[in-house]
């Protein structure tokens, strides 16, 4: 795959001062390098998107839908190469990499369908006052900057890119410097489809590149997924321009297990919620709230399940969990293991880095973790699960909501009325009941509190890239 930047319909080499090293986390070794884009190249990308905007937003909805379906088809044609790259650069097991690709394909297909429905979104508005008529017109918000993270490359970019293009926006996409290669497929597909030059631009780089894009006065909107610390910087940049933002940030989510739940099923849901993508998910259910009546049966079974997970290199072994994606993340998780030892937490399994090449850590479970522990309150972004017990439904709700984050939660109970009641009471953006974290393109994604601003996926994802205009006419 090319390691260049895609600006104004052309592949160009980076002119920045940073050299980006792309690593295989299972080996802890680089396998590719590229030069970052310069600040001037960021400006070129935004200028190209601005120049392409009028013609692109003037295309018919059916034309844009055809391009989106082309993206879906072309992703499918690149299946094996993209799956292998996800495994190699992210450390994802094959089954996870396959789901990522299928998710991206489904996203482009879904927004192709929504794009075709756009003409019906313009409607007359009845007025109480006589002598006037009014209609609503939905327009693209304009040129948008898309900044995506390293934990779900290809997927998160599809969640942003597909609705933005469907709405008639032009975009500048900045992938993470940790995983800059796989998004190059979108530029290759744009070439293959004959997407007009400037509609899609891709720039790679580190913090300097991201800051240049966030601060650029040629953007009409910015959509960011990543950490809260960087998200706050993005928000400050947007505030200087009074520019709208969508922020999908961190989480410290809970999984609540009531004592009427089947133990085996509960263990399956808990393990999936903390070890998928090696726990490197903003939605990881890293706080386990287990009711007193089931705790003694559940915790030993959970400990055994985590001990038996196969951890290794997904390119050479059949594994359940791969490595952490970067050395920086590996060091961060190791730091939390040290904090747990300092705090005297009870470790039932794991709590250490694995003695092998690459950035591997063991799936970890701590029991009876105090509410003031850093491991209970802070997002770790690794396969680290903290458990506490509760007695009543009211206590479970209160402890779940006692967080500065509000992204997701999972509720496990045989009493479906209770599960639905608890789901309604939780201060989060998405709740699963008796399920793994199945995410569907038709549903919304986003959180409350410190977990961000706005929603992605579903019709809400499309509306995030639309501006509402009303036209009022005097009939006299």
Instruction: Please give the helix or strand (H or E) that residue 66 lies within, else none.
Output: helix 61-77
What pLDDT shows up at residue 241? Answer: 87
Q: Report, at the CATH architecture level, how domain 5-249+451-474 is classified.
A: 3-Layer(aba) Sandwich (3.40)
What pLDDT shows up at residue 119? Answer: 80
**Location of structure tokens 């903290």:** 386
Check the CA dihedral 213-214-217-220 and report its sign: positive
Q: Which of 282, 379, 412, 456 is catalytic?
A: 282
Q: For the chain, 476 residues long, give each residue's pLDDT as a single digit of tens.
A: 446 899 999 999 999 999 999 999 999 999 999 999 999 999 999 999 999 999 999 999 999 999 999 999 999 999 999 999 999 999 999 999 999 999 999 999 999 999 999 887 788 999 999 999 999 999 999 999 999 999 999 999 999 999 999 999 999 999 999 999 999 999 999 999 999 999 999 999 999 999 999 999 999 999 999 999 999 999 998 888 899 999 999 999 999 999 999 999 999 999 999 999 999 999 999 999 999 999 999 999 999 999 999 999 999 999 999 999 999 999 999 999 999 999 999 999 999 999 999 999 999 999 999 999 999 999 999 999 999 999 999 999 999 999 999 999 999 999 999 999 999 999 999 999 999 999 999 999 999 999 999 999 999 999 999 999 999 999 98
The per-type count for the chain, helices as H runs and strands as E runs, is 15, 22
Q: Which of 96, 116, 177, 248 is catalytic?
A: 248
What pLDDT shows up at residue 2? Answer: 47
Cβ atoms 284, 328 nearer than 8 A = no
Q: Where in the chain is the domain with CATH 3.40.309.10?
A: 254-441
What pLDDT shows up at residue 87? Answer: 97
Q: Does the annotation count 169 as an active-site position?
A: no
Q: Where in the chain is the domain with CATH 3.40.605.10?
A: 5-249+451-474
**Location of structure tokens 């009409």:** 220
Label residue 123 exposed, middle or buried (CB < 10 Å: 0-12, 13-18, 19+).
exposed
Rg from Cα positions in the chain: 23
Cα angle, residue 142 at apex, residues 64 and 113 outer, rounded to 5°: 25
Cα(173)–Cα(98) distance, integer angstroms: 23
DSSP 8-state assignment for residue 38: P
Cβ atoms 201, 45 nearer than 8 A = yes
Q: Does the annotation count 282 as an active-site position?
A: yes
pTM, 2 dp: 0.96
466-474 and 132-140: which strand pairing? antiparallel
**Location of structure tokens 């996926």:** 457
CB atoms within 10 A of CB 135: 13
**Location of structure tokens 């993005």:** 234
Q: Report, at the CATH architecture level, how domain 254-441 is classified.
A: 3-Layer(aba) Sandwich (3.40)
Specify the 3-state DSSP secondary structure of 340: helix
Q: Tokens for 15?
A: 């002119």
What pLDDT shows up at residue 3? Answer: 63
Q: How far is CA 276 from CA 25, 415, 443, in A?
A: 16, 27, 20
170-174 and 254-257: which strand pairing? unpaired
Cα(323)–Cα(441) distance, integer angstroms: 27
H-helix segments, 194-290 = 207-214, 228-241, 263-275
């Amino acid at each position: 795959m090319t390691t260049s930047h895609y600006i104004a319909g052309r592949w160009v080499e980076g002119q920045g001062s940073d050299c980006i090293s792309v690593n295989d986390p299972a080996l802890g070794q680089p396998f590719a390098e590229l030069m970052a884009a310069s600040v001037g190249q960021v400006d070129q990308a935004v200028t190209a998107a601005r120049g392409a905007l009028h013609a692109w937003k003037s295309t018919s909805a059916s034309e844009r839908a055809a391009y989106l379906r082309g993206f879906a088809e072309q992703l499918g044609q690149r299946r094996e190469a993209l799956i292998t790259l996800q495994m190699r650069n992210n450390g994802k097991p094959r089954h996870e990499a396959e789901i990522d690709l299928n998710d991206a394909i489904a996203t482009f297909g879904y927004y192709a369908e929504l794009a075709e429905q756009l003409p019906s979104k313009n409607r007359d508005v009845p007025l109480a006052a006589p002598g006037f008529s009014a209609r609503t017109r939905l327009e693209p918000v304009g040129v948008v900057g898309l900044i995506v993270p390293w934990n779900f490359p290809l997927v998160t970019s599809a969640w942003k890119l597909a609705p933005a293009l469907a709405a008639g926006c032009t975009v500048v996409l900045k992938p993470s410097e940790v995983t800059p290669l796989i998004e190059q497929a979108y530029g290759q597909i744009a070439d293959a489809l004959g997407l007009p030059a400037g509609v899609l631009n891709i720039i790679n780089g580190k913090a300097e590149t991201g800051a240049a894009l966030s601060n650029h006065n040629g953007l009409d909107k910015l959509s960011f997924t990543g950490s809260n610390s960087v998200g706050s910087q993005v928000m400050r940049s947007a505030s200087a321009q009074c520019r709208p933002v969508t922020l999908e940030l961190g989480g410290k989510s809970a999984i609540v297990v009531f004592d009427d739940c089947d133990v085996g099923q509960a263990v399956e849901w808990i393990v999936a919620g903390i070890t998928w993508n090696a726990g490197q998910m903003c939605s990881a259910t890293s706080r386990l709230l287990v009711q007193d009546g089931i705790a003694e049966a559940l915790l030993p079974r959970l400990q055994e399940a985590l001990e038996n997970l196969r951890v290794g290199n997904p390119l050479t072994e059949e594994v359940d969990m791969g490595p952490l994606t970067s050395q920086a993340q590996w060091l961060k998780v190791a730091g939390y293991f040290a904090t747990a030892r300092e705090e005297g937490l009870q470790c039932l399994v794991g709590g250490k880095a694995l003695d092998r090449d690459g950035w591997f850590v063991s799936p970890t479970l701590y029991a009876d973790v105090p509410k003031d522990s850093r491991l209970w309150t802070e997002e770790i972004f690794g396969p680290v699960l903290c458990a506490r017990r509760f007695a009543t439904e009211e206590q479970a709700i209160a402890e779940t909501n006692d967080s500065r984050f509000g992204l997701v939660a999972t509720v496990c109970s045989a009493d479906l009325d209770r599960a639905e009641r608890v789901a309604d009471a939780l201060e989060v953006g998405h709740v699963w009941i008796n399920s793994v974290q199945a995410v569907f393109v038709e549903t919304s994604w986003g959180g409350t509190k410190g977990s961000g601003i706005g929603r992605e996926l579903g019709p809400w994802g499309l509306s995030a890239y639309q501006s509402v205009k009303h036209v009022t006419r005097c009939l006299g």
